[in-house]
Chain A
Amino acid sequence: MEIILPKFGLFFWTLVVFLTVFFLLKKFAWGPILKALNDRETDIENKLRSAAEAEARMKTLTAENEKILQEAQSERAKILKEAGELKAQIIAEAKKEAQAEAAKELANARRVIESEKAAAVAHIKQTAVRLSIEVAEKVLRYELADKTKHEQFATQLVNDIRLN
């Protein structure tokens, strides 16, 4: 029977000791421990969140890098294309200029040739005139020795004049 009857002394001391332990532990153990656990949990949470954020940032960064790379590539292609066009244009212009120059040279040459030719023709004509005059003089000199023939020729000349 005694075993199931609470004794006041033990009951009282259990209350006193238990409550003392509770208040001491609350202040010096559970408080700091629970706070440390909470702090650590929030710390881990924050770190996980910032890691996720960093990952997302990395992703956008990679995407941006790719975009920049693509832009650079297209820029390069554009520049190369432009350079090619420029080259072709320069070559074409150079060709045109060269052609024009050549044509001018050719024209000049032609003109020179023409003038040279004209001069040569004139010279030839002069020479032919002089030679023909000399021939004529010689012929005349030979012909005038015969009077009749001389008259005949004169007549003929007169006839010719008439015809003209």
Chain B
Amino acid sequence: MNLPISVILRIIVVLVLAFPTLARASETKAEGEQSGGFNVTELLLHHVLDSHDWHIVDIPTGGGKYFTVSVSLPWLLYDSEKGLKFFFLHGHTPEELNASAAEHGYQIDGHGHIASLTGANVVDLSPTKTVLHILMVALVMLLLFTRIASAYKARPNQAPKGAQSFFEPLIVFIRDEIAKPNLHGKHAAFVPYLLTLFFFIWFANIFGIMPLNSNIAGNISVTAALAVLTFVLIQFNGTKDYWGHIFWFPGLPVPLKLLMTVVEIVGLLTKPVALAIRLFANISAGHFMVLALISLIFLLGKQGQSVGGALGILPLSLAFSLFILTLEVLVAIVQAYIFTLLTAVFIGQAMESHDHAEAGH
């Protein structure tokens, strides 16, 4: 397992490109999809939302035609009548997709929601664009950190070298500054989880900044999954005191105890919800900002009809989007840090046992 990073990256690119139906050449797109021409809202949502194909770029080939570089991804459904279904759909526009889905007995609306024509319950488990990107992040993490681990095994008790020296301070930081102070001496059991969480969010954010039309942690589903794991960890590590505070708050008259139970249960849920929304909002906001700033060029350029307008806004738009992108690099690690830190803090709070009678909270 001594592959250099560049080789790992090449392997990922080859894997992605080997995925079925890569580039659909020369496809006619509905010219100026809406009458107003350029629709910023649609562009932003199209980028930030998950989809069933990885649409990387459209290269104009003249005459209103485009060479579309995209990766079509399969559909995987759990159908209450037919069990698991796995198929590819053809086409790009909602109409084409719907027609293709009809062959399999399904219909798709404009938002990519799939439903059975027979009225059966359908659960969409498709490996979408974001799932593919998560897998890529996972692959990078697995290759990178097993490689670093073997470097530690190869050179025991020696100073770190190469990638080791870059990641060691981060690993030690998470162990000593996030896990140790918050987890009351039981940190050793949680350090691997916190490390995975931190690097997963960070790498996903970095992946989202790269111009690959990727958005991982800007999906509420992704951040919700991570928050649910945090929620489960908090409850599984709750002490008697923790549950006592929730269901029978000590040192209060009974009516207030009942009121506090409601408040505490709300508090129980707000923690993971806040985690999920914070990460999602921060990352998608960054994407929106950059896309909106870039879109200004096309808005003021009126789809190529006003070159002066496009050129006028260009420097400003690029300068601002460069600023936001640079900020996003910082936000990428800061949000990973915050999510990891708060996970450790919440678990630590649930693990606390209060020896003193508390007057109030």
Q: Can you list 30 contacts pairing A with B, beta carbon distance less than 8 Å?
A: A2-B45, A2-B49, A3-B49, A4-B220, A6-B224, A9-B126, A9-B221, A10-B50, A10-B131, A10-B221, A10-B225, A11-B222, A12-B125, A13-B125, A13-B128, A14-B225, A15-B228, A18-B134, A18-B200, A18-B225, A21-B142, A26-B193, A26-B196, A28-B145, A32-B149, A34-B171, A34-B188, A36-B156, A37-B172, A44-B157
Is chain A's binding surface mostly helix, strand, loop or mixed? helix
Contact of B82 with A by CB under 8 A: no
Contact of A153 with B by CB under 8 A: no
CA distance A30 to B196 in the complex (A): 9
CA distance A119 to B39 in the complex (A): 167
A32 and B142 contacting across the interface, CB-CB below 8 Å: no
Contact of A108 with B by CB under 8 A: no
Given the interface pairs A31-B192, A32-B152, the reply to whether A10 lies near B130 with Cβ below 8 Å is yes
B145 and A29 contacting across the interface, CB-CB below 8 Å: yes
Task: Kindly report which residue of chain A lies nearest to residue B142, judged by CB atoms.
Answer: A24
Given the complex, which residues of B lie within 8 Å of A37, measured CB to CB? 152, 168, 171-172, 175
Contact of A62 with B by CB under 8 A: no
CA distance A4 to B123 in the complex (A): 19
What count of chain A residues pass the 8 Å CB interface test? 36
A2 and B111 contacting across the interface, CB-CB below 8 Å: yes
Contact of A7 with B by CB under 8 A: yes
Given the complex, which residues of A lie within 8 Å of B224, measured CB to CB? 6, 11
Q: Which residues of A are in contact with B by a Cβ distance under 8 Å?
A: 2-15, 17-22, 24-26, 28-34, 36-37, 39-40, 43-44
Task: Kindly report which residue of chain A lies nearest to residue B168, judged by CB atoms.
Answer: A37
CA distance A4 to B218 in the complex (A): 10
Given the complex, which residues of A lie within 8 Å of B200, measured CB to CB? 18, 21
| Among B126, B158, B193, contact of A22 (Cβ-Cβ < 8 Å) | B193
Given the complex, which residues of A lie within 8 Å of B311, measured CB to CB? none
Given the complex, which residues of A lie within 8 Å of B141, measured CB to CB? 21, 25
Given the complex, which residues of B lie within 8 Å of A36, measured CB to CB? 149, 152-153, 156
B148 and A29 contacting across the interface, CB-CB below 8 Å: yes
Nearest CB in chain B: distance from A71 CB, A: 43
Task: Tell which of B123, B138, B153, B191 has the most Cβ of chain A within 10 Å.
Answer: B138
